[in-house]
Chain A
């Protein structure tokens, strides 16, 4: 295929992308997400701590500390940002968009996916950067099973995805951002302190993932991982369905 043909084909893709309402909204939301002052501050803070931990510990502890930071602070930042994503726009931008050729599910899906993409992108960039530096300078143990390391990183990523979508869900239910944030924080407390539970449910607490960081790396934590993965992957889908039902009942 010649250069001109390739160029033309590329243009057609661009043409189609620009005419798809959902993709237009999604790309707009992602760009706005990165421009959010809180998100910008968080990126600077987490990059600073990422480099600090990496240059300080110079071993796996740096990654572990970074994951702790994401579990406890990253999830709250995700909640704050996502809690205002819809409730902050009702009576304003949401009305303006939904009075145009935008369907409610397109608006909602663009909110969910964009919030998740922004949070998860920041997370993976910082963590991968940190692991990359440690690996480059050979600070990681020789017997480290990288698949296990990336599995833990993925689990923490799923936790962030959970809180991010949880915030958007509450944002679509409540008219006030404060209420959606408070509801999100209640879920955050419940999930974090679930590790105190003596029953089967403790494994769903993100604290457990961090607490068993080394055991997961060594394959010695004896639990059924699929349950955790299913919980954190399934919940955002459930949140989206709840959001959809509530948002279609809602007057703007």
Chain B
């Protein structure tokens, strides 16, 4: 299956001074929810703008739906919905007039446009505000209008640049829900950039990590978790843990046990013994009649993976560059 977005050697240097994107090879598979992660200033928005043809690459190319993207690739953009980080709207427009205007820009006939506007306004929960001026809206409401606008052309590819930025927990949850719902529809690919790892972890199937304009990881969520698997499990228990800790000492394959208050960290020698050792740990826990409050496998923390990769990139980036040249 042809990837929806494919970049090759993509490079952008601003004013011959700042390297925003550096030799980027990105592949976004069809029907995926691709999370594009990176710290601030890593080159996420620049990559998105290059993908949309809003800025010209200094070198390399971007293909969307198999077609090279340029400044006038309106036919490609017709199939894309784009939500910018901070959406802006023309003055004195209401959600209805704005969506109608954007619908006309996409050349959607009236008989399709009007029902779609109504449906979108309902789905982003803006019915009560549909006749109010957008200028007066809160950040969350503005994001919802912009989200409706980028869905008006029923796009096959949805590009969302930091969609949850500045939203309160309720707004964030509803946006995440909407993205998950959209991504689950057949024929839809969602490309979402963010630095909020919890969101990415919640709805993405694939992930790309960019740092200083360079892609340092590209794969599935499972792949990144495998990459950082620490063979450590963490238990939080209720009750006195002394005898449980003693029992753990006799369980084979456990390398070390650390206990702090009610949190116990257990190291396992090899990934192959993971399941077998876990069974023994839980058996000991049941025998001691302790209550398990929480359990984490040590490979669940995407934030840790992200930071590890960034750190690794910092220390090995130079060596990698030298070896690539050689």
Q: Does B107 contact A (CB under 8 A)?
A: yes
Q: Which residue of B lies closest to A248 (CB)?
A: B71
Residues of B within 8 Å of A92, CB to CB, are 88
Measured CB to CB, the nearest residue on chain A to B75 is A101
A252 within 8 A of B: yes
Q: Mind listing 14 A-B residue pairs with CB under 8 Å? A: A15-B109, A18-B107, A35-B92, A95-B84, A96-B89, A99-B77, A99-B80, A99-B84, A100-B153, A103-B72, A103-B74, A104-B72, A249-B56, A252-B54
Chain B 63-101: CB-based contact to A (< 8 A → 1; otherwise 0): 000000001101101101010100111111000000001
Q: CA–CA, A105 to B52, complex, Å?
A: 16
A252 vs B88: C-alpha distance when bound (angstroms)? 14
Give the B-binding residues of A (Cβ under 8 A).
Answer: 15, 18-21, 24-25, 28, 32, 35, 92-93, 95-105, 248-249, 251-252
Indicate whether B110 reaches chain A with its CB closer than 8 angstroms.
yes
Majority SS at the chain A contact face: helix
What are the 10 closest A-B residue pairs judged by CB atoms, nearest first?
A92-B88, A251-B55, A101-B74, A19-B107, A101-B78, A24-B104, A99-B82, A252-B54, A103-B72, A99-B52
Check B91–A32 contact: CB distance below 8 A.
Answer: yes
How many Å lie between the Cα of A249 and that of B105 in the bound state? Answer: 23
Contact B89 A93 (CB under 8 A): yes
Asked whether, in the complex, the Cβ of B106 is within 8 Å of the Cβ of A100, the reply is yes
Whether B91 pairs with A252 at a CB distance below 8 angstroms is: no
Q: Are A251 and B77 in contact (CB under 8 A)?
A: no
A24 nearest CB across to chain B (Å): 4
The answer to whether A28 touches B101 (Cβ under 8 A) is: yes
Partner pick for B54 among A18, A249, A251, CB 8 A cutoff: A251
Say whether B106 contacts A15, CB under 8 Å.
no
A181 and B38 alpha carbons, distance in the complex (Å): 38
The answer on a CB contact under 8 Å between B90 and A28 is yes
Residue pair A96, B56 in contact (C-beta under 8 Å):
no
User: Which residue from A101, A105, A248, A251 sits with its C-beta under 8 Å from B105?
Assistant: A101
A181 CA to B132 CA, complexed, in Å? 33
Say whether B56 contacts A19, CB under 8 Å.
Answer: no
The CA of A249 and the CA of B55, in the complex, are separated in Å by 9
Q: Is B188 an interface residue (CB 8 A)?
A: no
Distance from A64 Cβ to chain B, minimum over Cβ atoms (Å) = 37
| Cβ 8 A contact of A252, one of B49, B87, B102, B110 | B49
Bound Cα distance A98, B90 (Å): 14
Minimal beta-carbon separation of A161 from chain B (angstroms): 24
Q: How far is the CA of A19 from the CA of B105 in the complex (A)?
A: 7
Q: B8: shortest Cβ distance to chain A, in Å?
A: 20
Q: Give min CB distance, A27 to chain B, whole Å.
A: 9
Task: Give the nearest-CB partner of B106 in chain A.
Answer: A101
A99 CB contacts on chain B under 8 angstroms: 52, 54, 77, 80, 82, 84
The answer on a CB contact under 8 Å between A104 and B71 is: yes
Q: Given A15-B109, A19-B107, A252–B55 Cβ distance below 8 Å?
A: yes
- Chain A residue nearest to B104 (CB atoms) is A24
**Alpha-carbon distance between A96 and B152 when the two chains are bound, in angstroms:** 13
Q: A18 vs B82: C-alpha distance in the bound complex, in angstroms?
A: 22
Q: Collect the chain A residues with CB atoms within 8 Å of residue B54's CB.
A: 95, 98-99, 251-252
A249 to B15, CA, bound (A): 13
When distances are taken between beta carbons in the complex, the residues of chain A under 8 Å from B105 are 21, 24-25, 97, 100-102
For residue B111, which residue of chain A has the nearest CB? A15
Cα A15 to Cα B75 with chains together (Å): 20
Given contacts A24-B105, A102-B74, A252-B49, 4 further A-B contacts (CB under 8 A): A18-B104, A97-B105, A100-B74, A100-B82
Instruction: For B101, give its contact among A19, A24, A103, A252 (CB under 8 Å).
Output: A24
Instruction: Select from chain B the residue with minimum beta-carbon distance to A103.
Output: B72
How many Å lie between the Cα of A252 and that of B89 in the bound state?
A: 16
Could you tell me the distance in whole angstroms from the C-beta of A152 to the nearest C-beta in chain B?
A: 36
Q: Could you say which residues of chain A place their CB within 8 Å of the CB of B90?
A: 28, 32, 93
By a CB distance below 8 angstroms, the chain A residues around B72 are 103-105
Q: Which chain A residue shows the least CB distance to B101?
A: A28
Q: Which residues of A contact B110 (CB under 8 A)?
A: 15, 18
Please, which residues of chain B bring their CB within 8 A of the CB of A96? Answer: 82, 84, 87-89
Chain A residues with Cβ below 8 Å from B78 are 100-101
